[in-house]
Amino acid sequence: MIEKSKVEFVTKPRLVDAYGRLIKNVRISITDKCNFRCVYCMPAEGLEWLKKDQILSFEEIERLTRVLVSMGVEQVRLTGGEPTVRKDLPELVRTLSRIKGLHSLSLTTNGYLLKKLAGPLAEAGLTRINVSLDSLVRDRFFQLTRRDSLQQVMEGLEELEKYPSISPIKINAVAMKDFTEAEVAGFALLARRKPYVVRFIEFMPLDADENWDRSKVLTGDEIKAIIEREVMPLVPVPSADPAETSTKYRFADGIGEMGFINPVSHPFCSACDRIRLTAEGMLRTCLFAHIETDLKIIMRSGASDEVLEEAIRRAVWKKEMKHYINDGEAFKRTKRSMSQIGG
Ligand code: SAM
Ligand code: SF4
Protein backbone atom coordinates (compact mmCIF):
# COMPACT_ATOMS: atom_id res chain seq x y z
CA MET A 1 0.00 0.00 0.00
CA ILE A 2 1.02 3.60 -0.55
CA GLU A 3 3.22 4.89 2.29
CA LYS A 4 2.40 8.50 2.93
CA SER A 5 5.30 8.78 5.40
CA LYS A 6 8.50 10.09 3.88
CA VAL A 7 10.60 6.95 4.18
CA GLU A 8 13.47 7.31 1.69
CA PHE A 9 13.57 4.82 -1.16
CA VAL A 10 15.56 6.98 -3.55
CA THR A 11 18.57 4.93 -4.50
CA LYS A 12 20.05 7.21 -7.18
CA PRO A 13 20.94 10.88 -7.63
CA ARG A 14 17.69 12.84 -7.86
CA LEU A 15 16.13 13.89 -11.13
CA VAL A 16 16.84 17.55 -11.66
CA ASP A 17 16.73 20.03 -14.52
CA ALA A 18 19.17 22.71 -15.56
CA TYR A 19 17.30 25.31 -13.46
CA GLY A 20 17.61 23.23 -10.30
CA ARG A 21 13.98 22.07 -10.23
CA LEU A 22 13.66 18.62 -8.67
CA ILE A 23 11.19 16.32 -10.41
CA LYS A 24 8.85 14.64 -7.95
CA ASN A 25 5.67 14.26 -9.90
CA VAL A 26 4.78 12.28 -13.01
CA ARG A 27 1.49 12.27 -14.88
CA ILE A 28 1.05 9.08 -16.82
CA SER A 29 -1.50 8.90 -19.61
CA ILE A 30 -2.72 5.33 -19.92
CA THR A 31 -4.94 5.80 -22.95
CA ASP A 32 -5.64 8.37 -25.65
CA LYS A 33 -9.29 7.25 -25.84
CA CYS A 34 -12.16 9.06 -24.18
CA ASN A 35 -15.90 8.65 -23.77
CA PHE A 36 -16.46 12.46 -23.70
CA ARG A 37 -15.59 15.10 -26.29
CA CYS A 38 -15.02 18.24 -24.22
CA VAL A 39 -14.85 21.31 -26.46
CA TYR A 40 -11.71 22.64 -24.75
CA CYS A 41 -9.87 19.37 -25.29
CA MET A 42 -10.98 17.06 -28.11
CA PRO A 43 -12.53 17.49 -31.54
CA ALA A 44 -16.17 16.37 -31.95
CA GLU A 45 -14.96 13.58 -34.20
CA GLY A 46 -12.05 12.52 -36.38
CA LEU A 47 -9.37 11.58 -33.85
CA GLU A 48 -7.69 8.31 -34.71
CA TRP A 49 -7.01 6.10 -31.70
CA LEU A 50 -3.65 4.53 -31.09
CA LYS A 51 -3.50 0.78 -31.61
CA LYS A 52 -3.03 -1.53 -28.64
CA ASP A 53 0.62 -2.27 -29.39
CA GLN A 54 1.35 1.45 -29.71
CA ILE A 55 0.47 2.18 -26.10
CA LEU A 56 2.52 1.21 -23.08
CA SER A 57 1.57 -2.08 -21.46
CA PHE A 58 0.92 -2.22 -17.71
CA GLU A 59 4.31 -3.93 -17.31
CA GLU A 60 6.04 -1.07 -19.12
CA ILE A 61 4.21 1.52 -17.01
CA GLU A 62 5.23 -0.33 -13.85
CA ARG A 63 8.86 -0.53 -14.94
CA LEU A 64 8.99 3.17 -15.78
CA THR A 65 7.35 4.08 -12.49
CA ARG A 66 9.88 2.01 -10.53
CA VAL A 67 12.77 3.66 -12.35
CA LEU A 68 11.31 7.13 -11.78
CA VAL A 69 10.65 6.47 -8.09
CA SER A 70 14.26 5.30 -7.67
CA MET A 71 15.26 8.78 -8.91
CA GLY A 72 13.04 10.69 -6.50
CA VAL A 73 9.58 10.79 -8.07
CA GLU A 74 7.07 10.62 -5.22
CA GLN A 75 3.73 11.21 -6.87
CA VAL A 76 2.06 9.46 -9.77
CA ARG A 77 -1.17 10.63 -11.35
CA LEU A 78 -2.88 8.39 -13.89
CA THR A 79 -4.69 10.26 -16.60
CA GLY A 80 -5.56 10.17 -20.29
CA GLY A 81 -7.66 10.46 -22.47
CA GLU A 82 -10.06 8.96 -19.99
CA PRO A 83 -8.10 6.51 -17.80
CA THR A 84 -11.19 4.62 -16.62
CA VAL A 85 -11.89 3.34 -20.15
CA ARG A 86 -8.68 1.32 -20.07
CA LYS A 87 -9.46 -2.27 -19.23
CA ASP A 88 -8.36 -3.53 -15.80
CA LEU A 89 -7.41 -0.10 -14.42
CA PRO A 90 -7.72 -1.34 -10.80
CA GLU A 91 -5.06 -3.98 -11.56
CA LEU A 92 -2.64 -1.26 -12.65
CA VAL A 93 -3.46 0.76 -9.53
CA ARG A 94 -2.84 -2.29 -7.36
CA THR A 95 0.55 -2.92 -8.95
CA LEU A 96 1.71 0.70 -8.74
CA SER A 97 0.47 1.12 -5.18
CA ARG A 98 2.96 -1.56 -4.10
CA ILE A 99 5.98 0.39 -5.33
CA LYS A 100 8.00 1.40 -2.30
CA GLY A 101 8.76 5.10 -2.14
CA LEU A 102 5.63 6.22 -3.95
CA HIS A 103 3.80 8.60 -1.60
CA SER A 104 0.75 9.39 -3.69
CA LEU A 105 -1.13 7.57 -6.41
CA SER A 106 -3.95 9.52 -7.94
CA LEU A 107 -6.34 9.52 -10.85
CA THR A 108 -7.81 12.26 -13.01
CA THR A 109 -11.14 11.23 -14.49
CA ASN A 110 -14.27 12.64 -16.01
CA GLY A 111 -16.20 10.55 -13.47
CA TYR A 112 -18.51 8.83 -15.95
CA LEU A 113 -17.50 5.30 -14.87
CA LEU A 114 -16.90 6.00 -11.19
CA LYS A 115 -20.13 4.54 -9.93
CA LYS A 116 -18.81 1.15 -11.01
CA LEU A 117 -15.11 1.76 -10.38
CA ALA A 118 -14.86 3.77 -7.13
CA GLY A 119 -14.98 0.63 -4.96
CA PRO A 120 -12.49 -1.44 -6.97
CA LEU A 121 -10.12 1.55 -7.22
CA ALA A 122 -10.24 2.19 -3.47
CA GLU A 123 -9.69 -1.49 -2.78
CA ALA A 124 -6.73 -1.51 -5.19
CA GLY A 125 -5.00 1.31 -3.28
CA LEU A 126 -5.87 4.56 -5.01
CA THR A 127 -5.26 7.42 -2.57
CA ARG A 128 -6.40 10.57 -4.39
CA ILE A 129 -8.73 11.59 -7.15
CA ASN A 130 -9.56 14.59 -9.32
CA VAL A 131 -12.92 14.53 -11.02
CA SER A 132 -13.40 16.94 -13.90
CA LEU A 133 -16.78 18.65 -13.88
CA ASP A 134 -17.38 21.96 -15.61
CA SER A 135 -21.12 22.50 -15.26
CA LEU A 136 -23.83 21.56 -12.78
CA VAL A 137 -26.62 22.14 -15.30
CA ARG A 138 -27.59 19.29 -17.60
CA ASP A 139 -27.80 21.08 -20.97
CA ARG A 140 -24.73 23.20 -20.28
CA PHE A 141 -22.83 20.05 -19.29
CA PHE A 142 -23.87 18.62 -22.65
CA GLN A 143 -22.76 21.77 -24.45
CA LEU A 144 -19.24 21.42 -23.01
CA THR A 145 -18.70 17.66 -23.05
CA ARG A 146 -20.92 16.83 -26.05
CA ARG A 147 -22.37 14.06 -23.86
CA ASP A 148 -25.58 14.02 -21.82
CA SER A 149 -23.89 12.54 -18.75
CA LEU A 150 -24.14 14.93 -15.81
CA GLN A 151 -26.27 12.49 -13.84
CA GLN A 152 -23.72 9.66 -14.16
CA VAL A 153 -20.89 11.92 -13.00
CA MET A 154 -22.88 13.12 -9.96
CA GLU A 155 -23.70 9.50 -9.09
CA GLY A 156 -20.01 8.62 -9.45
CA LEU A 157 -19.11 11.39 -6.98
CA GLU A 158 -21.72 10.15 -4.51
CA GLU A 159 -20.25 6.66 -4.76
CA LEU A 160 -16.74 7.98 -4.11
CA GLU A 161 -17.86 9.44 -0.81
CA LYS A 162 -18.29 5.87 0.48
CA TYR A 163 -14.52 5.30 0.27
CA PRO A 164 -12.67 7.62 2.69
CA SER A 165 -9.32 6.05 1.79
CA ILE A 166 -9.56 8.11 -1.43
CA SER A 167 -9.17 11.59 -0.07
CA PRO A 168 -9.53 14.43 -0.72
CA ILE A 169 -12.09 14.35 -3.54
CA LYS A 170 -11.14 17.23 -5.81
CA ILE A 171 -13.36 18.61 -8.52
CA ASN A 172 -11.68 20.46 -11.38
CA ALA A 173 -13.68 22.85 -13.54
CA VAL A 174 -12.14 24.44 -16.63
CA ALA A 175 -13.11 28.12 -16.59
CA MET A 176 -14.09 29.76 -19.84
CA LYS A 177 -15.16 33.37 -20.35
CA ASP A 178 -18.87 33.97 -21.02
CA PHE A 179 -19.70 30.47 -19.86
CA THR A 180 -18.34 29.69 -16.42
CA GLU A 181 -19.43 32.94 -14.73
CA ALA A 182 -22.95 31.51 -14.43
CA GLU A 183 -21.63 28.35 -12.73
CA VAL A 184 -19.36 29.94 -10.15
CA ALA A 185 -21.87 30.37 -7.32
CA GLY A 186 -23.25 26.85 -7.88
CA PHE A 187 -19.78 25.34 -7.57
CA ALA A 188 -19.03 27.43 -4.49
CA LEU A 189 -22.20 26.14 -2.85
CA LEU A 190 -21.29 22.57 -3.85
CA ALA A 191 -17.91 22.98 -2.13
CA ARG A 192 -19.75 24.12 1.02
CA ARG A 193 -22.38 21.40 0.93
CA LYS A 194 -20.21 18.43 0.04
CA PRO A 195 -16.78 17.13 1.09
CA TYR A 196 -15.31 18.21 -2.25
CA VAL A 197 -12.48 20.65 -2.85
CA VAL A 198 -13.60 22.56 -5.94
CA ARG A 199 -10.88 24.07 -8.12
CA PHE A 200 -11.17 26.24 -11.18
CA ILE A 201 -8.51 25.87 -13.84
CA GLU A 202 -7.86 28.49 -16.48
CA PHE A 203 -8.51 27.48 -20.08
CA MET A 204 -5.17 26.80 -21.83
CA PRO A 205 -4.26 26.67 -25.53
CA LEU A 206 -4.43 22.89 -25.72
CA ASP A 207 -7.83 22.43 -27.37
CA ALA A 208 -7.86 20.27 -30.51
CA ASP A 209 -10.20 22.73 -32.26
CA GLU A 210 -7.66 25.54 -31.73
CA ASN A 211 -10.34 27.98 -30.61
CA TRP A 212 -8.36 29.22 -27.63
CA ASP A 213 -7.53 32.84 -27.41
CA ARG A 214 -6.78 35.06 -24.47
CA SER A 215 -10.23 36.65 -24.49
CA LYS A 216 -11.73 33.23 -23.67
CA VAL A 217 -9.77 32.84 -20.44
CA LEU A 218 -11.76 33.54 -17.29
CA THR A 219 -9.03 34.15 -14.72
CA GLY A 220 -8.90 32.83 -11.20
CA ASP A 221 -8.98 36.40 -9.87
CA GLU A 222 -12.18 37.09 -11.79
CA ILE A 223 -13.80 33.94 -10.39
CA LYS A 224 -12.67 34.74 -6.86
CA ALA A 225 -14.27 38.17 -7.17
CA ILE A 226 -17.56 36.55 -8.26
CA ILE A 227 -17.50 34.19 -5.27
CA GLU A 228 -16.77 37.00 -2.84
CA ARG A 229 -19.55 39.10 -4.32
CA GLU A 230 -22.19 36.37 -4.67
CA VAL A 231 -21.37 33.95 -1.86
CA MET A 232 -18.92 34.98 0.84
CA PRO A 233 -15.35 36.34 1.32
CA LEU A 234 -12.52 33.82 1.00
CA VAL A 235 -9.53 33.43 3.33
CA PRO A 236 -6.18 32.17 1.97
CA VAL A 237 -4.97 28.75 3.09
CA PRO A 238 -1.15 28.63 3.10
CA SER A 239 0.43 25.72 1.24
CA ALA A 240 3.45 23.85 2.54
CA ASP A 241 4.35 22.65 -0.97
CA PRO A 242 6.03 25.24 -3.23
CA ALA A 243 5.17 23.11 -6.30
CA GLU A 244 1.44 23.19 -5.50
CA THR A 245 -0.39 24.34 -8.64
CA SER A 246 -3.48 25.58 -6.87
CA THR A 247 -3.91 28.63 -4.63
CA LYS A 248 -6.26 27.55 -1.86
CA TYR A 249 -8.92 29.44 0.06
CA ARG A 250 -11.47 28.67 2.77
CA PHE A 251 -14.81 30.37 3.03
CA ALA A 252 -14.75 33.03 5.74
CA ASP A 253 -17.06 30.97 7.97
CA GLY A 254 -14.72 27.98 7.75
CA ILE A 255 -17.10 25.79 5.76
CA GLY A 256 -15.69 24.57 2.46
CA GLU A 257 -12.52 24.98 0.42
CA MET A 258 -11.90 26.34 -3.08
CA GLY A 259 -8.77 26.36 -5.24
CA PHE A 260 -7.62 28.30 -8.27
CA ILE A 261 -5.18 26.91 -10.81
CA ASN A 262 -4.04 29.91 -12.80
CA PRO A 263 -1.42 28.79 -15.33
CA VAL A 264 -2.24 31.63 -17.73
CA SER A 265 -2.68 34.64 -15.43
CA HIS A 266 -0.16 33.54 -12.76
CA PRO A 267 2.24 30.97 -14.28
CA PHE A 268 3.90 28.64 -11.80
CA CYS A 269 6.62 27.26 -14.08
CA SER A 270 9.51 28.29 -11.82
CA ALA A 271 8.34 25.81 -9.16
CA CYS A 272 7.23 23.08 -11.57
CA ASP A 273 8.16 19.58 -10.39
CA ARG A 274 6.23 17.67 -13.07
CA ILE A 275 6.95 15.56 -16.11
CA ARG A 276 4.48 13.71 -18.30
CA LEU A 277 4.33 10.43 -20.13
CA THR A 278 1.96 10.07 -23.07
CA ALA A 279 0.02 6.87 -23.64
CA GLU A 280 2.53 5.79 -26.30
CA GLY A 281 5.46 6.33 -23.97
CA MET A 282 6.73 9.76 -25.01
CA LEU A 283 8.31 11.65 -22.13
CA ARG A 284 7.28 15.34 -22.11
CA THR A 285 8.93 17.73 -19.72
CA CYS A 286 6.28 20.44 -20.16
CA LEU A 287 2.60 20.52 -21.15
CA PHE A 288 3.62 22.82 -23.98
CA ALA A 289 6.77 20.91 -24.99
CA HIS A 290 7.86 20.66 -28.64
CA ILE A 291 10.42 17.97 -27.92
CA GLU A 292 9.64 14.46 -26.66
CA THR A 293 11.76 11.45 -25.73
CA ASP A 294 10.53 8.07 -26.88
CA LEU A 295 10.87 5.80 -23.84
CA LYS A 296 8.82 3.01 -25.40
CA ILE A 297 11.38 2.48 -28.17
CA ILE A 298 14.15 2.41 -25.60
CA MET A 299 12.31 -0.15 -23.47
CA ARG A 300 11.30 -2.30 -26.42
CA SER A 301 14.85 -2.36 -27.77
CA GLY A 302 15.81 -4.36 -24.67
CA ALA A 303 17.65 -1.52 -22.94
CA SER A 304 18.67 -1.90 -19.29
CA ASP A 305 17.20 0.27 -16.52
CA GLU A 306 20.48 2.22 -16.48
CA VAL A 307 20.08 3.16 -20.15
CA LEU A 308 16.45 4.11 -19.57
CA GLU A 309 17.42 6.19 -16.58
CA GLU A 310 20.09 8.02 -18.54
CA ALA A 311 17.59 8.90 -21.29
CA ILE A 312 15.18 10.27 -18.67
CA ARG A 313 17.93 12.31 -16.98
CA ARG A 314 19.01 13.86 -20.28
CA ALA A 315 15.45 14.80 -21.19
CA VAL A 316 14.70 16.26 -17.76
CA TRP A 317 17.90 18.31 -17.76
CA LYS A 318 16.50 20.17 -20.78
CA LYS A 319 13.08 20.78 -19.20
CA GLU A 320 11.55 23.96 -20.62
CA MET A 321 12.16 27.05 -18.51
CA LYS A 322 8.50 28.10 -18.84
CA HIS A 323 5.51 28.11 -21.11
CA TYR A 324 5.37 31.10 -23.42
CA ILE A 325 1.61 31.71 -23.41
CA ASN A 326 2.12 35.30 -22.31
CA ASP A 327 5.04 36.02 -24.64
CA GLY A 328 3.26 36.92 -27.87
CA GLU A 329 4.91 35.46 -30.97
CA ALA A 330 7.31 33.39 -28.86
CA PHE A 331 4.42 31.07 -28.04
CA LYS A 332 3.88 28.20 -30.46
CA ARG A 333 1.14 25.66 -29.85
CA THR A 334 2.26 22.08 -29.36
CA LYS A 335 1.06 19.63 -32.01
CA ARG A 336 -0.78 17.58 -29.38
CA SER A 337 -4.04 18.51 -27.76
CA MET A 338 -4.70 17.89 -24.05
CA SER A 339 -6.21 14.41 -24.43
CA GLN A 340 -3.13 13.29 -26.39
CA ILE A 341 -0.77 14.52 -23.69
CA GLY A 342 -2.39 13.65 -20.39
CA GLY A 343 -3.50 16.56 -18.24
N1 SAM B 1 -10.40 12.58 -19.05
C2 SAM B 1 -9.93 12.92 -17.77
C3 SAM B 1 -10.59 14.17 -17.26
O4 SAM B 1 -11.21 14.88 -18.04
O5 SAM B 1 -10.44 14.44 -16.07
C6 SAM B 1 -8.43 13.04 -17.69
C7 SAM B 1 -7.73 13.70 -18.84
S8 SAM B 1 -8.10 15.42 -19.06
C9 SAM B 1 -7.13 15.78 -20.48
C10 SAM B 1 -7.23 16.13 -17.70
C11 SAM B 1 -7.63 17.51 -17.29
O12 SAM B 1 -7.28 18.43 -18.30
C13 SAM B 1 -9.11 17.68 -17.04
O14 SAM B 1 -9.31 18.23 -15.75
C15 SAM B 1 -9.53 18.67 -18.09
O16 SAM B 1 -10.58 19.48 -17.66
C17 SAM B 1 -8.25 19.44 -18.31
N18 SAM B 1 -8.19 20.12 -19.61
C19 SAM B 1 -8.40 19.60 -20.83
N20 SAM B 1 -8.23 20.53 -21.79
C21 SAM B 1 -7.91 21.68 -21.15
C22 SAM B 1 -7.60 23.01 -21.58
N23 SAM B 1 -7.60 23.33 -22.88
N24 SAM B 1 -7.31 23.93 -20.65
C25 SAM B 1 -7.32 23.62 -19.32
N26 SAM B 1 -7.57 22.38 -18.86
C27 SAM B 1 -7.88 21.43 -19.76
FE1 SF4 C 1 -12.03 13.44 -22.43
FE2 SF4 C 1 -10.94 14.51 -20.26
FE3 SF4 C 1 -10.49 15.60 -22.69
FE4 SF4 C 1 -12.91 15.78 -21.60
S5 SF4 C 1 -11.01 16.68 -20.78
S6 SF4 C 1 -12.43 15.17 -23.73
S7 SF4 C 1 -13.09 13.91 -20.50
S8 SF4 C 1 -9.81 13.62 -22.00
Q: From the CA of 133, which ligand is nearest? A: 1
Specify the ligand 2 atom closest to the Cα of 37.
Answer: 6
CA 137 – CA 297 distance, rounded (Å): 45
In this predicted structure, what is the pLDDT of residue 88?
97
Asked whether 343 lines ligand 1 (CB < 6 A), one says yes
Which ligand 1 atom lies nearest to the CA of residue 343? 10
Which tens digits make up the pLDDT trace of 269-297?
999 999 999 999 999 999 999 999 999 99
What's the CA-to-centroid distance between 295 and ligand 2, angstroms? 24
> Positive or negative, the Cα torsion across 200, 205, 211, 215?
positive
Closest ligand 1 atom to Cα of 212 = 23
Looking at residue 168, its amino acid is P
Where residue 21 falls among pLDDT bands split at 50, 70, 90? very high
Task: Give the position, in ligand 2's atom list, of the atom nearest the Cα of 112.
Answer: 7
User: Which amino acid type is present at position 247?
Assistant: T
Å from CA of 130 to ligand 2 middle? 13
Identify the three-state secondary structure at position 260.
Answer: strand
CB 187 near ligand 2, within 6 Å: no
Per-residue pLDDT at 131 exceeds 90:
yes
- The protein residue with its alpha carbon nearest to ligand 2, atom 8, reads 81
Q: Is the CB of 256 under 6 A from ligand 1?
A: no
The yes-or-no verdict on residue 8 having pLDDT over 80 is: no
Work out the average pLDDT over 12-36.
96
pTM confidence score: 0.96
- Whether ligand 2 lies within 6 angstroms of the CB of 339 is answered as yes
pLDDT tens column, 93-111: 999 999 999 999 999 999 9
For the segment 65-70, the average pLDDT, to the nearest whole number, is 97
Q: Is the dihedral of CA 180, 265, 76, 249 positive or negative?
A: negative
The pLDDT of residue 3: 62
Q: Give the pLDDT score at 243.
A: 85
Domain ranges of the chain: 25-341
- 7 exposure class (CB count in 10 Å sphere: 0-12, 13-18, 19+): exposed
For the chain, give the mean pLDDT. Answer: 95
Ligand 2 centre to CA of 123 (Å) is 25
Average pLDDT over residues 187-208: 97
For residue 339, give the ligand 2 atom closest to its CA.
8
- Indicate if ligand 2 lies below 6 Å from the C-beta of 153: no
Closest ligand 1 atom to Cα of 207:
23
Q: What is the pLDDT of residue 9?
A: 66
Centre of ligand 1 from the C-alpha of residue 339, in Å: 7
pLDDT > 60? residue 240: yes
Q: Is the CB of 179 under 6 A from ligand 2?
A: no
**pLDDT above 70 (res 6):** no
Decide: 79 in ligand 1 pocket, CB within 6 A.
yes
In this prediction, residues 76-105 reach a mean pLDDT of 97
Rounded Cα distance between 297 and 36, Å, is 30
Nearest to 312 by CA among 332, 335, 330, 292: 292
C-beta 257 within 6 A of ligand 1 = no
174 Cα to the center of ligand 1, angstroms: 8
d(CA 172, CA 343): 11
Residues 6+ apart with CB under 8 A from 241: none
Of the listed ligands, the closest to the CA of 32 is 2
The atom of ligand 2 lying closest to the CA of 35 is 1
Atom of ligand 1 nearest to the CA of 80: 7
218 neighbors 203 (Cβ within 8 angstroms): yes
At residue 101, the pLDDT reads 94
Nearest to 325 by CA among 286, 282, 293: 286
Which of the listed CATH numbers 3.40.50.2000, 3.90.870.10, 3.30.565.10, 3.20.20.70 matches domain 25-341?
A: 3.20.20.70
Q: Nearest bound ligand to CA 209?
A: 1
C-beta pairs of 128-131 under 8 Å, 24+ apart in sequence: 128/77, 128/104, 128/166, 128/167, 128/168, 128/170, 129/160, 129/166, 129/169, 129/170, 130/77, 130/106, 130/170, 130/171, 130/172, 131/156, 131/157, 131/160, 131/169, 131/170, 131/171, 131/172
Query: How confident is the model at residue 244, as a pLDDT?
Result: 87
203 lines ligand 1 (CB under 6 A): yes
- Identify the nearest ligand to the CA of 78 by its number: 1
